[in-house]
Structure 1
Amino acid sequence: MRPVAPASHSPMFLLHNTFLLVRIRLPPHHPLRLLHYSFSPNGHPPPHHPSTAPGPAPALPHAAELWIAKALASAALLRPHRIPAFRGLAPSPIAAAVAVRLAPSAAAALCIFSCLHSPPLSLPPCEHSYRHVISLLCRSGRHSDALKLFDQMMGQSGYFPDAGFFSFVAGSCTNAGLLDATATLLAKGAQFGCHIEPYACNKLVNSFIAHGRTQDAVALFENWIQEGLYSPDVWSFNIIIKGSCRVGNVQKALQLVERMDEFGCSPDTVTYNILVDGLCRVKEVNKGHEVLRRLQRDGVCMANVVTYTSVISGYCKVGRMEDAMAVYNDMLESGIKPNTVTYNVLINGYGKAGDIESASGMYQQLMLRRCPPDVVTFSSLIDGYRRCGQLDGAMRIWKDMVQYHIQPNVYTFSIMIHSLCKQNRSEEALGLLRELNMREDIAPGTFIYNPVIDILCKGGKVDEANLILLDMEDKGCHPDKYTYTILIIGHCMKGRISEAITLFHKMVETGCYPDDITVNSFISCVLKSGMPNEVDRIMLIASGHASSSQKVCSRQSQRLDMSIAV
């Protein structure tokens, strides 16, 4: 029985196998023998038995082929200058392919591949070696090297991968964010007559949309279908229709729906849900409702809770609560059960309309139908009570959240803190702020701190306001223009002009330049304190940065109508 080389766990891959060296019939001082001796555990050259039979050496057995593959791999990684010694052995493509597969990593595989298939050895690479190395490079994140080798495989070697491997490489590059390179790769495959699998194209189009490049995604999609490089399915159309709706291009979405028949596709419930939602988002609620009526009338696709909720949400956003309730009643008559999202939309709509009784009624309906309330449910109710000036009702809902073990989010805290500050209930607002600061999953922003600082300054508690400022900075929340304005005016009202000046300069140093309201109020206070030199400095700073300061604003502060102590 012929001995077979055992598996090696060494990175050198070489084994001490005297018998194989004898069968290979190498001369005593052949470089391959010397390479073997250098890795041999005994360090002694094996005896050489010259061949007694004339003629060429016999064909290498399978075990010897495996040994040569291990030697090739070791030499490429550890002794590249020994590679020319293998030319006389005429290694087969199988040995070269095995050598590549013995590599412990993608980098090692690429090194072995390059060494074996470049001069001086210049073995012709096989398709399996290409595929193996490219796969390793993709999985290890070296997509640039993978794409270069992919081009070499098709260009120099003439191997053309199948659709499955094409799709694998394209999907890997898409996951790595190489969207343009993936698009080029897929176009190249289509030019060579390779029918790319739809999921690879769908994945790329979806990634373009996710990266905010919807226009590029639509152009790519239309180019593919125009040139016949791509056979889109329903999922393909749903992706591109959803992307178009997200950027408000509903007309393009409608055109794409009309083109689905050309490719043997029919819109499904998901398609219509996307379309209805897109129409309602751009306030074309009547058109969205018409699509829903068409579904009810034709019965081609069944409208579901998402379809109805989208229309209800559209009506709520434009304040048409009667129409929203009509769709809600149609929903119940059709036998479709509303879910938590449906009730959240209605509660929020009634709350913004100032109808807290109807909002509470929807909350009761939610509980009767055993839909689990969530943080959006309670936040919408609290906001509704706040808008109606019923802070005690908001506090009651806040306590109900605790009973249901639902954690308030940053928006819920913001509503409560602003409401308490407007009612001059600073101690309760400070208590909620402390509770919020104990939460590790929420990072409060300036729109949370500013109303608390404002109410403290209005009450003359500037020292406590200064502590809130320090707490903000300790937590990595940088004060904005409104924060500094509140504190500067607050210190001026207490007659602490020096501290106000210090805050003003700190404000400018941190890149928050004052607006005209801050400057004029501050100058008035500084003049009254008899400090004309500081007035000149303030006016100089203001004249240098006033134009840029007009662009500085806090969206969240504007949304929450934060008051400033002036």
Structure 2
Amino acid sequence: MNRSPANQTLLKSISQSLIKRHHFSTSNPSSLQTIPNSRTNSLISPLYNLLPHTQNPNKIVDIICTNLKERKSTLLDKDMIPHLGTQEVSRILLRCQSDSFAALTFFNWVKNDLAFVPTVHDYCIMLHILAWSHNFSHTMKLLSDLIELNKSKPDKVSIFENLIICTKDCSWEPVVFDMLLKAYLKAGLVRDGLITFRKMVKLGFAPKIISINFLLDGLLKVNRIDECWGVYEEMGKIGIRGNTFTFNILTHVICKSEDIDKVNKFLEKMEEDGFEPDIVTYNTLIDSYVRKGRLKDALYLYNIMYIRRVMPDLITHTSLINGLCKEGNVRDAHKLFHRMVQIGLKPDVFSYNTLICGYINKGMMQEARALLHEMIKGKVTPNDFTCLVLIEGYRKENTLISAVNLIVELKKFGILVPKRLQIDLVVALCRVDKPFAAKSLWERISQDGKEPNLQIYDELIVAFCKSNYVNEAIQLKDEMLFKNIKPTLTTYSAIIRCLCRLNRTAEGEFFMRDMVEFCIHPDATICRSLVSGRCKEKNLNEAELLLTLFAEEFQLLCNECYNEVFKAVCEEGDINRSMEFQNRMQRIGYTPNSLSFKYAIDGLFRTAA
């Protein structure tokens, strides 16, 4: 940033204007200096001159400056500290302008050791001293501290205006305003950064292009697209030429603004300014075209790159492969992939994943698997996403066994599929009635150090029982107990229902007693299964005992179970037995309903016949 004589004159007039306003508002709550000073100014009294020099409050500035110059560790006697006020702090900083180390030592002593909050004015003097001495690292740190301190105040002040005011009394470098702009953006205060930029331009300063690039990038990230172009227009007015980074940021702006038709004009403008679009520019535009479904335009730019001797890189090809795959043109995508290899580019995992996804979306699992083998052969290690899309592809094609084989095959190559994907596959196999494959895969996972968990055991047991492989389910339940995993209601319910379905109701009752020992109460589903099983066996006495047990022990009165037994009793045609059964059930809480009366009437008809 240049400081011309005209700029100095303009700055002087604005500085004086701000200073007048600053002095006028010192008694006003909206004063620029709103960070309070808890200390009172020293009282100037002739009597103090009778004291020794080191104890004279009138000499406090001289004492501290001398001690700083001599690099003394103690800057001031404790008794003198209450006489140190805002005016003294500013005077000492101004007298230390030529010694930034001494000024910073004093400033930190005031701020840290005395717990005395310097004013914004003091901060700005210190910033000018550091910037003048080219101590930029400390300048940026102090700017960050001041911004953080200022933004937490309810009555924020203008740091920029305070920096201008301080230029009247101390040496300064325009770079401090650039640094303020960057410090705002670093703190995420894009709006404050934009305001600072506009104030700099208004005063006639020409910010450095690197600072403007920071601003453009910040505006882009918060989606303030129009203001990006506003900054770019201001650059032209004050004669600042952009660089490659500027144009690449603006390329992102164009892509984000949805106005892709501006691209050609923008590229021409770049060339007029002497900047050839580079690989970043083209990649940004191609990616934007692909995301917006304008593949022809993206391929056109790809050909233009060769004409302008900008060699497409891996990112360029991957973007185009992605675009071709999205349109379902996997064959052309694979041709472009081969072309990329032929010009000497080594595909990475992202390139492979993009093409694999294209094949999977077309249901071409064999081609996707072949590409995986090619990937491994080329020493490109598949990542979690590779495994995920392949397994999901097999799930989509309802060929989960192929997914299991894939996991086994990858393990042989030393590639471990993430445990969460394998566990999800175990669950999926259970839910498509492939319990043996699920169990086999789970055993492999367990061998790798994965502790078996309750959810997977329940899924396996339910799957085995659903397919009537109850003995395998019982083995898994025993394995759970061996591994100190407590079975759940789901575990027992699946086994009991399967046993009853297989006419092994007595074993089902045994498991019910077993679950009660684990303090797991049976539910209505288990009740219906056991009662139904006994009714199918024509063992009505046992069925009645079960009804009584569920009512008295578990307070479970299932009318559906009661009606099933009552129906079986009525079908025997013994009306007396039916009435006696009904009376016994009513005494323990069962209430007949309309279906019960229907069964009773049907029984009477059978007796009459």
Give the C-alpha shift of residue 392 in structure 1. Answer: 2.8
**Which position in structure 2 is the counterpart of 1:385?**
359
**How far apart, in 2, do the equivalents of 1:122 and 1:143 lie?**
10
> Is 1:235 aligned to 2:202, yes or no?
no
2:112 to 145, 151, 156: 145
Q: Which amino acid aligns with 2:404?
A: E
1:289–1:311: 8 Å Cα contact kept in structure 2? no
**How far apart, in 2, do the equivalents of 1:201 and 1:360 lie?**
51
Give the C-alpha shift of residue 408 in structure 1. Answer: 3.3
1:263 to 211, 222, 238: 238
Q: Which amino acid aligns with 2:182?
A: K
**Which position in structure 2 is the counterpart of 1:273?**
248
**Which position in structure 2 is the counterpart of 1:9?**
none
Q: Which amino acid aligns with 2:140?
A: G
Give the C-alpha shift of residue 207 in structure 1. Answer: 1.3
Specify whether residues 188 and 501 from structure 1 end up closer, same or farther in structure 2 by C-alpha distance, changes over 3 A only.
farther
Larger Rg: 2
Give the C-alpha shift of residue 355 in structure 1. Answer: 1.3
2:68 to 86, 97, 106: 97
**How far apart, in 2, do the equivalents of 1:474 and 1:177 lie?**
52
2:298 to 298, 313, 324: 324
1:363 to 337, 359, 363: 337
**How far apart, in 1, do the equivalents of 2:79 and 2:132 lie?**
25
1:427 to 364, 380, 404: 404
1:203 to 182, 188, 197: 182
1:417–1:452: 8 Å Cα contact kept in structure 2? no
Please list, as runs of the form range in 1=range in 2, the aligned pairs for 1:266-415 lying within 5 A after superposition.
Answer: 266-295=241-270, 298=272, 300-415=274-389
**How far apart, in 2, do the equivalents of 1:253 and 1:414 lie?**
40
2:110–2:116: 8 Å Cα contact kept in structure 1? no
**How far apart, in 1, do the equivalents of 2:231 and 2:123 lie?**
41
2:251–2:284: 8 Å Cα contact kept in structure 1? yes
**How far apart, in 2, do the equivalents of 1:267 and 1:217 lie?**
22
Q: Taking structure 1 as the reference length, what is the TM-score of the superposition?
A: 0.56
**How far apart, in 2, do the equivalents of 1:407 and 1:170 lie?**
46
| Greater alpha carbon shift after TM alignment, 359-368 vs 286-295 | 286-295
Aligned length: 404
Specify whether residues 289 and 190 from structure 1 end up closer, same or farther in structure 2 by C-alpha distance, changes over 3 A only.
same
Please list, as runs of the form range in 1=range in 2, the aligned pairs for 1:11-160 lying within 5 A after superposition.
Answer: 96-97=67-68, 100=71, 112-113=74-75, 118-119=80-81, 127=93, 131-132=100-101, 145=112, 151=118, 155=122
Task: Provide Cα deviations, 1:224-277, integer angstroms capped at 9, x if missing partner.
Answer: 436649642222222222222233332222222112123321233322221222
Q: Which amino acid aligns with 1:97?
A: L
Task: Provide Cα deviations, 1:533-557, integer angstroms capped at 9, x if missing partner.
Answer: 99x9xxxxxxxxxxxxxxxxxxxxx
**How far apart, in 1, do the equivalents of 2:491 and 2:144 lie?**
50
Which blocks of at least 5 consecutive residues in structure 1 are unaligned?
A: 1-83, 103-111, 504-525, 537-566
2:160–2:177: 8 Å Cα contact kept in structure 1? no
1:232–1:263: 8 Å Cα contact kept in structure 2? no
**How far apart, in 2, do the equivalents of 1:146 and 1:240 lie?**
36
Q: Which amino acid aligns with 2:362?
A: C
| Greater alpha carbon shift after TM alignment, 198-207 vs 173-182 | 173-182
2:141 to 154, 160, 172: 172
Higher relative contact order (CA 8 A, sep 6+): 2
**Which position in structure 2 is the counterpart of 1:40?**
none
Which blocks of at least 5 consecutive residues in structure 2 are unaligned?
A: 1-50, 152-156, 466-472, 478-486, 493-522, 530-549, 557-609
1:198–1:233: 8 Å Cα contact kept in structure 2? no
% same residue: 15
Give the C-alpha shift of residue 448 in structure 1. Answer: 7.7
1:457–1:487: 8 Å Cα contact kept in structure 2? no
**How far apart, in 2, do the equivalents of 1:418 and 1:177 lie?**
53
Specify whether residues 346 and 438 from structure 1 end up closer, same or farther in structure 2 by C-alpha distance, changes over 3 A only.
closer
Specify whether residues 530 and 157 from structure 1 end up closer, same or farther in structure 2 by C-alpha distance, changes over 3 A only.
closer
Task: Provide Cα deviations, 1:35-83, integer angstroms capped at 9, x if missing partner.
Answer: xxxxxxxxxxxxxxxxxxxxxxxxxxxxxxxxxxxxxxxxxxxxxxxxx
Q: Taking structure 2 as the reference length, what is the TM-score of the superposition?
A: 0.52
